[in-house]
């Protein structure tokens, strides 16, 4: 349940965007579909050892039966108890096959994605809110007539990523924003359930004279290559390198005001904005949307505690799950953590290299030394990145004159409006980034 867009950038859990093996030939889809259905049946019956029997060697090393049990229990703590399988579909991505089993839980419909290698072994597994049956409809503030879309490639070679650049029509070079995702294998739209946060931002801003570049995340497009470097993975490879490549691309793009390139980060992307800016001081300005200012491991514990407490009580099994997570967090913070510490002993199944890289990183404190103007936005109903993080940004940056802060009382982690106490199920409801957010970003950029 990385924050961000997350777990899923915003919600459930990512059990490894990294655990996917290469595929070299066509697979028997019917067999894989049956296998995926049986796998989920075993999970629902708590037969975790039998479920892992279908894993390939990489998955077995990364996810023991105990870790799989913990993952399934964590999913149910958020989505409610498993009820039934509703339907299946398959996808081809990068040469391998994904069987998606849409399943009904008490509080949400979840797409359980099971990845198969050429031998019919399970090579990857992750969970996401079920895709909406209805087609995406643009928000009312988007005017598609005033901008054009161009397909682009961010980066080059092994890590090249497909992306979309929206540019306002006209002869005058436009200011431009690069959108940097939250955690998890996000697409260029930062799709979460029926919602498309980055598409709303891109087309909303381009309707107001600002170009926007968004791209598929490396952990989505290059899962098998990420797997090859899994033991040494850090946020540099996951996020920072590609954000910098996107900025570099824009400096070579016609129709762009290269003196006015801005970078916007959401969730984990927002947390990493100071590191991105340190790498490229010529970036014109920075926007942080729901960026953590506290250590990731502490935020993960807070998120899980919040979700487990939603029904007013924490069961013994849930408390055991929480205690296990806290033990993993304690290991992250301990001096005994080393690069050889197994990932299955650490939060979210992320490798020790990832946690060591983030150790001692204080985003708000690093931002003090930046020279670029900053806009920091926060939804007050966000349970993943909270007002505590927002207040930390404000406290640390209080003496800087070129920083603005905006707090939105009704907005959640996706900057979509809602009412009352928020639960993960809210992300399954269709909505759009609030128009007030588009307006505030537009005015801020045009004022720089």
Residue positions annotated with a catalytic role: 267, 382, 413
Q: What angle do CA 440, 441, 444 make, to 5 degrees?
A: 85
- Whole-angstrom distance, CA of residue 118 vs CA of residue 97: 9
* Alpha carbons 4 and 337: distance in angstroms, whole number: 24
Give the Cα separation of 419 and 426 in Å (integer).
Answer: 10
Closest-CA residue to 63 (of 8, 18, 109, 24): 18
One-character DSSP codes across 2-21: -SB---SBSSS--S-SS---
Number of C-beta neighbours around residue 339 at 10 A: 10
Residue pair 234/253 in contact by the 8 Å Cβ criterion:
no
d(CA 89, CA 99): 6
E strands along 251-329, which residues?
256-266, 285-289
Which distant-in-sequence residues (6+ apart) come within 8 Å of 75 by Cβ?
Answer: 12, 13, 105, 110, 127
What are the two backbone dihedrals, phi and then psi, of residue 93, each rounded to the nearest 5 degrees?
-145, 115
């Amino acid at each position: 349940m990385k924050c961000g867009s997350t777990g899923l950038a915003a919600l459930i859990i990512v059990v490894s965007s990294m655990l996917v093996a290469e595929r070299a030939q066509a697979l028997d889809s019917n067999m894989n579909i049956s296998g995926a259905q049986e796998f989920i049946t075993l999970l629902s019956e708590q037969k975790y050892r039998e479920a892992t029997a279908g894993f390939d060697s990489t998955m077995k090393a990364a996810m023991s039966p105990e870790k799989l049990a913990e993952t399934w229990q964590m999913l149910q703590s958020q989505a409610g108890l498993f009820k039934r399988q509703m339907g299946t579909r398959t996808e081809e991505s990068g040469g391998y096959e994904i069987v998606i089993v849409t399943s009904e839980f008490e509080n949400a419909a979840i797409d359980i994605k099971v990845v198969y290698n050429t031998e019919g072994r399970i090579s990857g597994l992750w969970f996401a809110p079920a895709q909406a049956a209805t087609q995406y409809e643009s928000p009312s503030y988007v005017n598609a007539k005033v901008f054009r879309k161009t397909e682009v490639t961010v980066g080059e070679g092994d890590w090249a990523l497909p992306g979309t650049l929206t540019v306002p029509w006209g002869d005058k070079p436009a200011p431009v924003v690069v959108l940097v995702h939250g955690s998890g294998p996000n697409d260029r739209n930062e799709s979460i359930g029926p919602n498309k946060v980055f598409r709303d931002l891109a087309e909303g801003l381009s309707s107001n004279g600002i170009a926007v570049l968004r791209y598929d995340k490396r952990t989505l497009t290059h899962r098998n290559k990420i797997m090859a470097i899994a033991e040494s993975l850090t946020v540099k490879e996951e996020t920072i390198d590609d954000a910098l490549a996107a900025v570099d691309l824009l400096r070579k793009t016609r129709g762009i005001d290269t003196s006015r390139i801005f970078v916007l980060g959401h969730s984990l992307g927002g947390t990493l904005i100071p590191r991105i800016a340190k790498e490229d001081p010529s970036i014109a300005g920075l926007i942080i949307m729901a960026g953590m200012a506290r250590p990731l491991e502490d935020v993960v514990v807070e998120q899980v505690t919040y979700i487990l407490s939603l029904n007013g009580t924490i069961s013994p099994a849930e408390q055991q799950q929480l205690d296990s997570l806290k033990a993993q967090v304690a290991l992250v913070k301990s001096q005994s953590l080393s690069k050889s510490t197994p990932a299955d002993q650490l939060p979210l199944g992320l490798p020790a290299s990832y946690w060591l890289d983030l150790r001692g990183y204080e985003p708000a404190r690093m931002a003090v030394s930046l020279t670029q103007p900053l806009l920091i936005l926060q939804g007050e109903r966000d349970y993943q990145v909270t007002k505590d993080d927002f207040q930390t940004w404000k406290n640390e940056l209080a003496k800087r004159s070129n920083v603005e802060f905006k707090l939105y009382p009704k907005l959640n982690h996706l900057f979509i409006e809602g009412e009352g106490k928020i639960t993960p199920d809210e992300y399954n409801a269709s909505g759009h980034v609030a128009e007030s957010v588009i307006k505030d970003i537009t005015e801020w950029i045009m004022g720089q």
